[in-house]
Amino acid sequence: MSIGTLGRDRSASPMVEGRCLVKSFGRTPALNGASVAVAAGEIVAVMGPSGSGKSTLLHCLAGIFTPDAGEVHVDGRRTDRLGETRRSEMRRTDFGFVFQFGQLVPELTVEDNIALPLLLGGKTRRYAYATARSWLPRLELDGLGRRRTGEVSGGEAQRVAMARALVHHPKILFADEPTGSLDSLTGEHVMELLADLTRAEGTTVVLVTHEPRVAAYADRMVLVRDGNVTVAEPPHAQSHPADGSAGRRRPPSLAR
Amino acid sequence: MSVPITLLGLLEREPSYGYDLKRDYDAHFGWGRSLPFGQVYATLARLARDGKVSAATVEPGAGPDRKRYAITELGTSEVHEWLRTPIEPEPHLQTLLFTKVVLALILGRSARTYLDTQRAAHMERMRQLTELRRTAGSVEALLADHGLFHLEADLRWIDLTEARLTSVAKAIKA
């Protein structure tokens, strides 16, 4: 049993899976045989101290890095052996990305930025812009469509980035510290929208964060330490049957 | 224990029966834990003995449920004093978390395994409270937030402790 799939329905094949991933930068090892599996529609938070390898794990799963050893499977297909052209196509069509900052083109408007993945994917201008505009209210960006992204606030910029990451209905959203550049209140609002939207869309989410309050929006948390995924499930989860409902162990209540 | 002062405070609105007080207490402060009737009447009896409430039998028959309670001047001033006074910031210097870690290190057992399990349990509780906060009204959200910030503080300590386990273990064995 892979440690990263503890408590999940192990009969269903995961949407994205890393098996025994190894990755070094020069002589510095970043991943030492890390394994993780994320079910379709699941939001998994990847936590761990700085330098633990959590971002490298995300980059390997997302096909940005190729692992030195180990395998990456996306939706039942092995992807780590694909050439750069195929991987880049996969990143554009199957994945969405939200990073800490710097992913928007500041000279372009909010609409332009959201429409970009659709235009790059060969959609017509008319379709791309109509779709982009339809995302504005979902991210509470009404009235900001014509604003340049260099002129909007940090929280607004992250919401634009989220729309851009989701506009083409990716299978998987990879989010690397999506709230890292925001104050905690704004960050939490962004995370709440991210969780709501991806749950509504059924998007699988791999979320790297060092903030417990952000990770608490996920269905499950895995911990990366020294390049390995080491996760301990809470005690009450171990006695629970693996019926795939790991994220909903008991109804939440303020009472203990 | 804040049950007596809270019941006293609720009485400042208007004279009430024990049953109504219990219902209001559960609605505002219970959060899944219901106040037993016995405790309500015992508390009211003590408050009456101390002169903070007065009890008037307004219905025929015997028993505490026939009585209507009203707050006295002494009771009112106690409620006001309580609301003005800050609570003692708890230093938590005797926490169970600390005891478990140190005892594990003394016994040469894996404190790290314990910390991992504790972290997972804390995260699971944070996840529950976050979910609740998303669906709850703003009053419940206030209470959930309080819980979330405390759990987050524990988690910071857990991370820090884990990073320092080796040196702490050395210090304990020295």
Q: What ipTM was estimated for this complex? A: 0.76
| Domain identity same for B13 and B46 | yes
B9, part of any domain: yes
How many structural domains compose chain B? Answer: 2
B61, part of any domain: yes
| Domain identity same for B66 and B108 | no
Contact B123 A192 (CB under 8 A): no
Give the contacts of B11 (CB within 8 A, at least 6 positions apart): B21, B53, B69, B70, B71, B75
B90, part of any domain: no
Contact B128 A252 (CB under 8 A): yes
Distance from CA of B163 to the nearest CA of A (A): 9
Chain A contact set for B129 (CB, 8 A): 216, 252, 254
Please give the Cα distance from B118 to B162 (Å, whole number).
12
Task: Select from B49, B84, B119 the last residue of a domain.
Answer: B84
Contact B31 A233 (CB under 8 A): no
Nearest to A200 by CA among A178, A226, A169, A241: A169
Contact B123 A234 (CB under 8 A): yes
B28: tokens are 């505002």
| Domain identity same for B58 and B113 | no
Q: Does B158 touch chain A (CB under 8 A)?
A: no
User: Which value, to the nearest 10 degrees, does the dihedral of the CA atoms of residues A152, A158, A159, A164 take?
Assistant: 110
Q: H-type helices in chain A, by residue range?
A: 54-61, 84-93, 110-120, 125-135, 154-166, 184-201, 212-215, 235-238
Task: Select from B55, B84, B113 the last residue of a domain.
Answer: B84
- Which residue of B121, B123, B159 is in closest CB contact with A215? B123
B131, part of any domain: yes
| Domain identity same for B67 and B131 | no
Q: Which residue out of B130, B143, B166 would a mutagenesis test of the A interface target, given it has the greatest number of A Cβ atoms within 10 Å?
A: B130
| Domain identity same for B78 and B143 | no
Q: Does B128 touch chain A (CB under 8 A)?
A: yes
pLDDT at A77 over 90: yes
pLDDT at position A9 is 47
Confidence grade of residue A196 (pLDDT, cut at 50, 70, 90): very high
Sites in chain B below the pLDDT cut of 70: 1, 59-64, 91-94
Distance from CA of A68 to the nearest CA of B (A): 28
CATH number of the domain at B24, please: 1.10.10.10
Chain A contact set for B110 (CB, 8 A): none
Cβ distance A229 to A30 under 8 Å?
no
pLDDT at position A167 is 96
Nearest to A179 by CA among A148, A218, A225, A215: A215
A160: tokens are 């634009």
pLDDT at position B31 is 79
pLDDT at position B41 is 93
Size (chain B), residues: 174
pLDDT at A250 over 70: no
A and B: number of Cβ contacts within 8 A: 71
B91, part of any domain: no
Please give the Cα distance from B118 to B169 (Å, whole number).
19
Cβ distance A41 to A246 under 8 Å?
no
pLDDT at position B155 is 93
| Domain identity same for B101 and B29 | no
Give the contacts of B80 (CB within 8 A, at least 6 positions apart): none
B153, part of any domain: yes
Chain A contact set for B126 (CB, 8 A): 212-213, 215-216
B122, part of any domain: yes
| Domain identity same for B167 and B136 | yes
A30: tokens are 């970043």
Confidence grade of residue A255 (pLDDT, cut at 50, 70, 90): low
B33, part of any domain: yes
| Domain identity same for B80 and B135 | no
Which chain B residue has its CA at the smallest distance from A218's CA? B127
Size (chain A), residues: 256
Please give the Cα distance from A84 to A65 (Å, whole number).
10
pLDDT at position A254 is 67
| Cα→Cα distances A233→A44, A72, A243, A247, B42, Å | 13, 24, 15, 11, 43
pLDDT, one tens digit per residue, over A114-144 is 999 999 989 999 999 999 999 999 999 999 9
Domain range for B52 is: 3-84
| Domain identity same for B161 and B133 | yes
Task: Select from B50, B84, B118 the last residue of a domain.
Answer: B84
| Domain identity same for B167 and B111 | yes
% pLDDT > 90, chain A: 76
Cβ distance A254 to B126 under 8 Å?
no
CA angle in degrees (0–180, nearest 5) for B63-B68-B71: 130
**Window 18-57 of A, Cβ < 8 Å to B:** 49
| Domain identity same for B75 and B126 | no
Distance from CA of A226 to the nearest CA of B (A): 12
| Domain identity same for B149 and B107 | yes
